[in-house]
A and B are shown apart, each in its own frame.
Chain A
């Protein structure tokens, strides 16, 4: 999402516009369906749900939804998608310092953390890992879906193991994602789009300062025009 002309209220700040929120909803819902339908053939206690192939069908439908996320994102919010892509792989000095103090942040302390931009270093790493692991889970999933006869026994086993380990890593990232959402009360950013201004100031100081500067410049421009 772009940070231009973002409404900056007294108590809240717009964190995610509607379009990225929709993209996130597609990603989250397809991921959860994939996780649950995948568990059916991973956890023996759930294997009674597998006969009939309904869960496989659902898994494949959700896989199409999951794979469509980058395309949908580029269509509905090209600038935002590009920004997320670039930001997630760009780390400045403050980011590295933030990573060194990660545990303090993980346990609820924002004081003494280096100032962060719209994405903190943890979010950048999270997004980068999600992108890389998604690539590996999609590649191994497509191999198992379309190319199984040519994989051979060893290739099939490798594809299955890569698929499972990628999902394990993504699920652990999801656990971390939910953890920080809860600790820093960030859920509203993805439901209504707005987050608490104080939380944003503490956790994304550089971003809020940018927004304040933009708001001040806009106000000054309006004043000039009024005069």
Chain B
């Protein structure tokens, strides 16, 4: 399966909000629903300020924590991107807590996040944000091509910004969003190395299937053993009755008649 990815060049982002608007309109998002948010981040004190625009949006993690905790399979990987099928979402909100980037939000009782414009891309178009960006800060394509382009841009930026780097090659299993950063990710409050907690991975991959398997196994074994054990117990009662130890256990029919 081809792996696709976005390129987000924060060295070129001018914070114009065109991606925000086109995403909202193109995906026909509801009132209050938003997949991209531009947040201006600054660090330090004037005049020694650093920072820029945090393009707060799904990073399409390779090992996505949201997928690991989604109980209904509404979040899933496709073409290297993290899709969301809102029609099957139960609204448990586990994904909103699990995401290390704090991306999914609850909207009208269900999870809401970027799905990489699945329908538009499958129809041959490009994601709305990519098609609208006036400064070519956003690109979309096969991940390897995007990765190469990201490095070209980071290399070019490094002349002016020595800390320029590509973010997302290894983080969270390799992101479906390769970010060209003029400076360190902490300056935009982006985690350097986000990880899905082991327990979140183990929950649905190990604990849940094991629980179902053990329960079914135990019920089958107990069901079969119960038939044998009850027969043995009845034999024991017959023996005890014959020996006069008990007065007569098997008189259920008689009891029912009496009742």
Contacts and interface: CB of A to CB of B under 8 A. Distances in A.
Interface of A: 10-12, 41-44, 47-48, 50-53, 55-56, 106-111, 148-149, 151-154, 156-158, 160-161, 164-165, 167-168, 171-172, 175-176, 178-179, 182-185, 196-199, 201-202
B69 A157 contact: yes
B202 interface: yes
B191 to A, nearest CB: 11
Contacts of B199: 154, 157-158, 161
Interface of B: 65, 69, 71-73, 87-94, 97-100, 109, 196-197, 199-200, 202-203, 207-208, 211-212, 214-215, 218-219, 222, 225-226, 228-237, 240, 246-249, 251, 255
20 contacts: A41-B92, A42-B71, A42-B211, A43-B208, A47-B72, A53-B90, A109-B232, A109-B236, A148-B94, A148-B97, A152-B97, A153-B100, A153-B200, A157-B69, A160-B69, A175-B215, A175-B219, A183-B230, A184-B233, A198-B248
Contact of A108 (B69, B94, B230): B230
B69 to A, nearest CB: 7
Contact of B233 (A42, A110, A152, A175): A110
Nearest to A151: B97
Contacts of A52: 90
Contacts, number: 146
Given A51-B72, A56-B91, A164-B203, A109 B233 contact: yes
Nearest to B100: A153
Contact of A182 (B207, B226, B232, B235): B226
Contacts of A196: 249
User: Which of B91, B197, B199, B237 is packed against the most chain A CB atoms within 10 Å?
Assistant: B199
B46 to A, nearest CB: 34
A171 B203 CA distance: 18
Given A47-B88, A56-B92, A202 B222 contact: no
A50 B197 CA distance: 25
